[in-house]
Amino acid sequence: MTVNFDLIATDGAARLGRITTAHGVIDTPAFMPVGTAGTVKAMMPESVAATGAQIVLGNTYHLMLRPGAERMERLGGLHKFMNWPGPILTDSGGFQVMSLSKLRTIDESGVTFQSHLDGSKHHLSPERSMEIQHSLDADITMAFDECTPFPATHDQAKTSQELSMRWAERSKTAFVKRQGYGLFGIVQGGIYPDLRQQSVQALTAIGFDGYAVGGLAVGEGQDMMFQVLDVTTPLLPQDRPRYLMGVGRPLDIIGAVLRGIDMFDCVMPTRSGRTAQAFTKRGTVNLRNARHQDDLRPLDEECGCPLCRNYSRAYIHHLFRSEEILAPMLLTWHNLHYYQDIMRGLRSAIAAGKAQAFAQAAMELERVGDIPILNL
């Protein structure tokens, strides 16, 4: 076995599970903070762990350009480099090549592109992506694919998906098996049920340690995303983890868990932590807003993160207005803590057979909105 998956309980389509990797276990449903360039931005790794996160995501595209894959291998891999002893999942680099690099050309072999940092020329292919992710020492490696853009016609989505499936096979061939390390395939096919179905068939015929659903959260909206999940996740093997890539907002995650997804990643909690947007169970709160400037209350009095335990809204507002580094430090921590609170809540709810009720309560509370202003 490469990475192990134990399905502990189900509640409708929702699943409670545990993934075991070379660097530790991940209780699912799980949210993976994004550590793009070898750091979850504005967080010490021990603080990331303190939020409850058990796995972080690293970006192959960024790391291959800086510090470089071979240097990273010489330096002992990503765990050691960034002082994260727990599991790491790396993406394949394909998505970010298409969104960040310059002058990219794609053909059957892979993608040739110029670095957005210095214009240097690089090539990524299924084989090279596997090699780099091996150098990074990723516990979970993602197959190299093309993320089908949205919108795409059926023909465009089909061509793209079929390329990704051929690349998936080459990824599997190139992946070096090691105990505790796994390779995930990525279902593509845009918004077209027949293409998603064909993609699942192709991937399961190859055989992967887990299955990701890719090409979503690219502008299609939550309804459409859930429709795609509704036709996709029932086809996926029960005994392997499922990962919805790049998703999402709290209610996206909750809805996807109800549809059988086990793993998530998204830059939202970390990125929003740098732009004063707080995620709370009453929806998002913009801490730069002057309504907070005299508010002695914590952001959320029930939250256990340092921001909520030790500081007033007035102080966090002041830090953002003053552009102090402590502002993103504290709010990123809060947002990641809140995301992990959701995952803890989901796992408890599934164990108790109350996943639907949990989702319902979350939706209703978000609709209520932030607590009213309390002037001094």
| Contacting positions for a copy of itself (CB under 8 A) | 37-39, 41-44, 66-67, 71, 74-76, 81-83, 274, 293-294, 296, 306, 310-312, 314-315, 318-319, 321-322, 324-326, 328-330, 376
Asked if residue 147 lies in contact with residue 161, where contact means CB atoms within 8 angstroms, the answer is no
Q: Of 11, 137, 209, 265, which is the active-site residue?
A: 265
Indicate the residue among 95 and 315 with the shorter CB distance to a copy of itself: 315
Indicate the residue among 178 and 297 with the shorter CB distance to a copy of itself: 297
Indicate the residue among 76 and 369 with the shorter CB distance to a copy of itself: 76
Measured from the CB of residue 376, what is the shortest distance to a copy of itself in angstroms?
A: 5
Tokens 């953002």 identify what position? 320
Indicate the residue among 81 and 358 with the shorter CB distance to a copy of itself: 81
Measured from the CB of residue 139, what is the shortest distance to a copy of itself in angstroms?
A: 19
Indicate the residue among 9 and 296 with the shorter CB distance to a copy of itself: 296
Asked if residue 195 lies in contact with residue 14, where contact means CB atoms within 8 angstroms, the answer is no
Measured from the CB of residue 74, what is the shortest distance to a copy of itself in angstroms?
A: 5
Measured from the CB of residue 323, what is the shortest distance to a copy of itself in angstroms?
A: 9
My answer on whether omega of the bond before 87 falls inside 30° of 0, hence cis, is no
Measured from the CB of residue 100, what is the shortest distance to a copy of itself in angstroms?
A: 14
Measured from the CB of residue 65, what is the shortest distance to a copy of itself in angstroms?
A: 10
Which distant-in-sequence residues (6+ apart) come within 8 Å of 242 by Cβ? 210, 211, 212, 213, 233, 236, 260, 261, 262, 263
Active site residue 91: yes
Active site residue 145: no
Indicate the residue among 239 and 323 with the shorter CB distance to a copy of itself: 323
Indicate the residue among 315 and 358 with the shorter CB distance to a copy of itself: 315
Measured from the CB of residue 272, what is the shortest distance to a copy of itself in angstroms?
A: 14
Q: Of 91, 295, 300, 370, which is the active-site residue?
A: 91
* Positions marked active-site: 91, 265
